[in-house]
Amino acid sequence: LSTHSAASTQSTQRGKKEEGHGAESTALSRTHVKHSGVVRILDSRLHSRSIARPADIRSTMRSVLVKLLVLAVAAIDRRADAFSSLAGVTARSVESGDDIDLGDFLSASSSGGDKSMVILGTYAADFNAIEYGQRLRYYLPELKKRGITKVGFVLNCEEESARKLCEMLDLEDESVTLMVDPLGAAGRKFGVGTGWRADDDEMSPYLKLFGMLFGLGAWATLPAVIGGYIGNPFTPQKWIEDALAVGQRKNRWPDNALELDEATGEVSLNKFSELPVVGEWPRRPLELATLRLQNMLDISIKNWKELAPSQDALDAGVLTQLGGCIICQDNGDVLFDYKDPGICAVANFEDILKKIPTVKNLETVEA
């Protein structure tokens, strides 16, 4: 009996194992069938795609090339228009009183390969005009190294206002031709922004200007202003320290951002560099905001009567008109052009230095 029972038990176990193997075999078979189906489907899709792929690639490449070509042509046309827009447009020389054709100014050269720059500023008490002058003062040596032998600085004001501003900025250089365009016609020809509600003759120009401070008709105003407070850990703006130093030497307030050498007047310490962590940034928080406060209080407001636009200029929309700049080769080819998208949002001269390389033979001659 015990033998029979053991045999029966072994038989039962063998049966269960066979059933188990059968189930596993069935599951594997089903899995294989399932995966085989997926593989067949994938193979089918890949095969269909592989057939269509060369045509798709050619079509995509053609589309991309056409778009790039359109963008390149548009950029060339835009730059050509930037130069041609100033052909025949004049501004008055502060030094001689003669009208200067800005197109001729940009293309005329004393020697082959020279470059010329025209800054179309705003009215003399405006943030943009002041910052263009401050940046120009600092970057002039670098511009000259790049073969920019002459610069026209056009302001929408009368001669005395232009002289006053340049005197306050210490902007005196033989390569800078100071010009005036009291009604801002040259800037409008160039295509600069005219601000918020430019065609509304009923609204006060000062109310329009107030709206622009909040970005109306000048979208980049708020980012530019806020950037002056928070700083920038990536992009240097070395002109700020130079402009602050000029202001302190002229007793403009705030007057404690820098320590100046008593003998030379040069910067011995920038106190913003002592700020924890952010003091190492290329542009520290509050640094540019401090300069703009200095500009507003001791240039714009303090000298408003001497720098303010005339009534005719106000009627022409000068108060809300923005500025711009252009750099050309002596054959008229445009190397750089820019139109201010807001108040305090003028051209970044660091971008100009990256765009236009240093002239090596010029450096050799100077050395």
Q: Is residue 66 part of a domain?
A: no
Q: What is the pLDDT of residue 205?
A: 97
Q: What is the mean pLDDT of the chain?
A: 86
E strand or H helix that includes residue 258: strand 258-260
The whole-number pLDDT of residue 80 equals 62
Is the backbone peptide bond immediately before 254 cis, with ω within 30 degrees of 0? Answer: yes
What average pLDDT does range 292-310 have in this prediction?
98
The pLDDT value recorded for residue 30 is: 47
Say what the pLDDT of residue 72 is: 52
Report residue 25's pLDDT band, with 50, 70 and 90 as the boundaries.
Answer: very low
Identify the pLDDT of residue 170: 98
Kindly list the strands in the beta sheet with 115-120, ordered across the sheet, starting from the edge strand earlier in the chain. 99-101, 90-93, 176-180, 148-155, 115-120, 324-329, 334-339
Total structural domains within the chain: 1
Is a pLDDT exceeding 90 seen at residue 23?
A: no
Give me the pLDDT at residue 70, please.
57
In a domain, 76, yes or no: no
The tokens 């000029």 sit on which residue? 246
What CATH number does residue 266 fall under? 3.40.30.10
Statement: residue 306 has pLDDT above 50:
yes
Residue 28 lies in a domain: no
Give residue for tokens 């009567």.
305
pTM value is: 0.79
* Secondary structure (H, E, C), 200-246: CCCCCHHHHHHHHCCCCCCCCHHHHHHHHHHCECCCCCCHHHHHHHH
For residue 348, is it within any domain?
A: yes
Q: Does 27 map to a domain?
A: no
Quick one: tokens of 132? 């263009």
**What residues make up the domain containing 319?**
83-366
Which pLDDT tens digit goes with each residue over 251-277? 999 999 999 999 999 999 999 999 999
Asked if residue 327 lies in contact with residue 337, where contact means CB atoms within 8 angstroms, the answer is yes
* pLDDT for res 52: 52
* Residue % of the chain over a pLDDT of 70: 78
- Name the least confident of 91-100, 188-197, 208-217, 356-365: 356-365
Mean pLDDT calculated for residue range 55-78: 63
Q: Which residues contact 243 (CB under 8 A, 6 or more apart)?
A: 134, 137, 138, 169, 291
The pLDDT of residue 61? 74
Residues 6+ positions from 339 with CB-CB distance below 8 Å? 190, 191, 192, 193, 322, 323, 324
| pLDDT, mean of residues 281-303 | 98
Q: Which amino acid is at 7?
A: A
Share of the chain above pLDDT 90, in %: 72
pLDDT at residue 79, rounded to an integer: 58
Q: How far apart are CA 79 and CA 75, in angstroms?
A: 6
115 vs 107: CA distance, rounded Å: 8
Interacting residues of 278 by C-beta distance below 8 A, sequence separation 6+: 231, 233, 284, 285
Model confidence over 116-162: pLDDT tens digits?
999 999 999 999 999 999 999 999 999 999 999 999 999 999 999 99
Residue 352 clears pLDDT 90, i.e. is over it: yes
- If one compares 49 and 127, the residue with the highest pLDDT of the two is 127
Whole-angstrom distance, CA of residue 46 vs CA of residue 98: 74
Task: Give the pLDDT band of residue 65 (cuts 50, 70, 90).
Answer: confident
Q: Which residues, 6+ apart, have CB-to-CB distance to 89 below 8 Å?
A: 101, 102, 103, 185, 186, 189, 190
Is the pLDDT score of 22 beyond 70?
no
- For the chain, helix (H) and strand (E) counts, in that order, are 13, 9
Burial 79-109 (b: 16+ CB within 10 A, else e): beebbebbeebbbbbbeeeeebebbebbbeb
DSSP state of 318: G
316 occurs within a structural domain? yes
147 and 359 Cβ atoms separated by less than 8 Å: yes
Distance CA 245, CA 214 (A): 29
Cα–Cα distance between 165 and 158 in angstroms, integer? 11
